[in-house]
Amino acid sequence: MLFRKLSMNKKIMMLTFFIIVFSFLIAGTFVIGSLLKEKEENIGQEAMLVARTVANLPEIKTLLQSNDFKFASSTINEMVEEIRFINQADYIVIMDTNRVKYSHPSIKEIGEVSKSSDMDAAFVEHYYLSKANGENGTTIRAFVPIMDEYNNQVGVALVGFLLPSPLQIFTDYQSEILITIAISVLFSMWGAHTLGRHIKKQMFGLEPHEISKMYVERTETFNSMHEGIIAVDKDLNITIFNKKASEILGVEGEPSYYLGKNIYEVLPDTRLPEIVLTGKPVYDQEIYVNERSILSNRIPILVNGNKVGAVAVFKDLTAFKQLAEELTGVKAFVQALRVQTHEYKNKLHTISGLIHLGHIKQALEYLSQVQDEHDNVTKFLNERIYNENISGLLLSKISRGKELGIKVNLDKESKFTKFPDKLDHHDFVVLFGNLIENAFDSLIGVNRQDKEITISIDDNDGILAILVSDNGIGMTEDIQSRIFESGFSTKENEGRGIGLYLVNEIVQKGNGTIEVSSEVNKGTTFIITFEF
């Protein structure tokens, strides 16, 4: 609990301290072990050297063959003890071939027979080292056979050196070890403090728990948004992928699973890489991702003027299209019903007047004419236009034109049998609705007796061609160059300037072409072509 309350600098310093202590403990274990091994080798060499030296002394060889044991042992022990003292050996034992001891640091052992089993090889002329554990610690022992002048073995020289303990090794190098530890700790703490300050600066002075809290809050904020959000870094690895994005694009699994993966592995057609490459934003563009139509805003992420990635914010166009259809279609249907109500009321007044005047025949003829006219239009639309949404829209626009004093001519050869790839009735409701409404706008303020809009739909030989033409006010070349820009309009009404932009987006989505020809005060013609 106390550790959690410490600042980042203090935490780093404490962790560094513990790491240093642990590192020194591990390193010290290896170092002392290595020193012990080296010490053991040196002691073994020294023991063997002393044993060889003693075994080669002529006096010892001669005394071992003497019949006077007391004199021989006394003399040998005196000589050996002097050598032992000079070489600081723990013991030097001289034995004859019967294993009787002629020298030993303990006087009581002289004359005794050695019963140690690890010296058998020495009595058959072998030179070797062995290690033995005693009361005072571990001893390195060198065994060297003693040979007379005729190369016959007359005894064995045994030299033992006590191995130093790890504590003794540490004591021997105490000053060097302490100085090394002090310098290392000093520089490590300074480095930890500097590193902590640098890390904290990089993290804007925030503590780890604050960053963790911000990360969780950011993730939940993105997941609660109604728009889909995907972000990538400069290497095109996904850094943000919220739940709405996975729902809209139909990507299965937890969004967090895709973090860190390359965008091409998850969604190869997001067009985010081109934003990272060019650094130019794209707003309100309809694109197909994972076979789904979305309205996307793609923006580069800049930090201190450098591109570090890109983010896409998008929404499902299904709801958007429904709204557009409502604005351009359903609204038009309601308006058409109002127009038809007004139109039929006038016709009923005409028929009523004729009947009151006694012109029954003329009333019947007028009624038949009205019925034929309506039946002809309805029959034509039902037979030639195979989608009721578009049929209803065109019928409403014809009625709307009558109310405005504008004749809407629908080419009698028109035919519409199927939709181009990637487009549906929502797209064509938006397309026809905006083109015809645009034509109405161009004719409303025109002082002309014959106001006409011509609509032609040609569906033949794998090509769908749509023509919408009017004899309205027309456009200048400057206006023509900007009509497909989002928000551009020659009208001052708020919310204008989106219709033709949407039309152009639909044409691009269907891989079609759009041509505009216009002349001021003569009219405008739009020709849109799709290939199946």
Confidence class for position 526, pLDDT limits 50, 70, 90:
very high
Pick from 53, 60, 99: nearest CA to 79 = 60
Res 493 pLDDT > 60: no
> Which of residues 124 and 335 earns the better pLDDT score?
124
**426 in Cβ contact with 506 (< 8 Å):** no
Res 215 pLDDT > 70: no
What is the distance between the alpha carbons of residues 234 and 306, in angstroms, rounded to a whole number?
10
> For position 203, what pLDDT does the model report?
66
Q: Residue 309 — φ and ψ, nearest 5°?
A: 160, -165
How large is the average pLDDT for residues 166-192? 71
> For position 468, what pLDDT does the model report?
94
Question: Measured at the alpha carbon of residue 486, what is the angle toward residues 484 and 487, in degrees to the nearest 5?
Answer: 115
Res 494 pLDDT > 50: no
Confidence class for position 5, pLDDT limits 50, 70, 90:
very low
- Written as six digits, the tokens of 155 are 């005894």
**454 in Cβ contact with 409 (< 8 Å):** yes
How large is the average pLDDT for residues 176-195? 72
> For position 346, what pLDDT does the model report?
62
pLDDT tens-digit profile of 329-368? Answer: 555 555 555 655 655 556 566 666 667 777 676 766 666 6
> Which of residues 270 and 61 earns the better pLDDT score?
61
> Which of residues 249 and 83 earns the better pLDDT score?
83
> For position 334, what pLDDT does the model report?
57
pLDDT tens-digit profile of 366-381? Answer: 666 666 566 566 777 7
Pick from 508, 450, 22, 477: nearest CA to 285 = 508
- Written as six digits, the tokens of 368 are 């038949």
Pick from 502, 496, 510, 450: nearest CA to 288 = 510
Tell me the β-bridge partners of 286. 295
Res 495 pLDDT > 50: no
Instruction: State the chain's mean pLDDT as an integer.
Output: 80
Q: Which of 101-110, 132-141, 350-359, 360-369 has the highest mean pLDDT?
A: 101-110
Res 26 pLDDT > 60: yes
Tell me the β-bridge partners of 232. 238, 310
Q: Taken in order 334, 335, 337, 342, is the CA torsion positive or negative?
A: positive
> For position 524, what pLDDT does the model report?
93
- CB 406: neighbour CB atoms within 10 A? 23
> Which of residues 234 and 381 earns the better pLDDT score?
234
What is the distance between the alpha carbons of residues 262 and 293, in angstroms, rounded to a whole number?
22
Quickly tell me which residue has 């004719």 as its tokens.
Answer: 443
pTM score, two decimals? Answer: 0.45
How large is the average pLDDT for residues 231-251? 87
> For position 93, what pLDDT does the model report?
92
Q: Is 450 exposed, middle or buried (0-12, 13-18, 19+ CB in 10 A)?
A: exposed
Res 185 pLDDT > 50: yes
pLDDT tens-digit profile of 27-37? Answer: 666 766 777 78
What is the distance between the alpha carbons of residues 95 and 141, in angstroms, rounded to a whole number?
14
What is the distance between the alpha carbons of residues 305 and 478, in angstroms, rounded to a whole number?
35
What is the distance between the alpha carbons of residues 46 and 117, in angstroms, rounded to a whole number?
23
Maximum pairwise Cα distance, the chain: 178
> For position 216, what pLDDT does the model report?
72
> For position 1, what pLDDT does the model report?
43
Alpha helices in 329-470 (DSSP H): 331-356, 360-384, 388-404, 425-444
Res 202 pLDDT > 60: yes
What is the distance between the alpha carbons of residues 499 and 529, in angstroms, rounded to a whole number?
18
> Which of residues 101 and 532 earns the better pLDDT score?
101
Strand, coil or helix: 251: coil
> For position 209, what pLDDT does the model report?
65
**412 in Cβ contact with 459 (< 8 Å):** no
What is the distance between the alpha carbons of residues 13 and 371, in angstroms, rounded to a whole number?
94
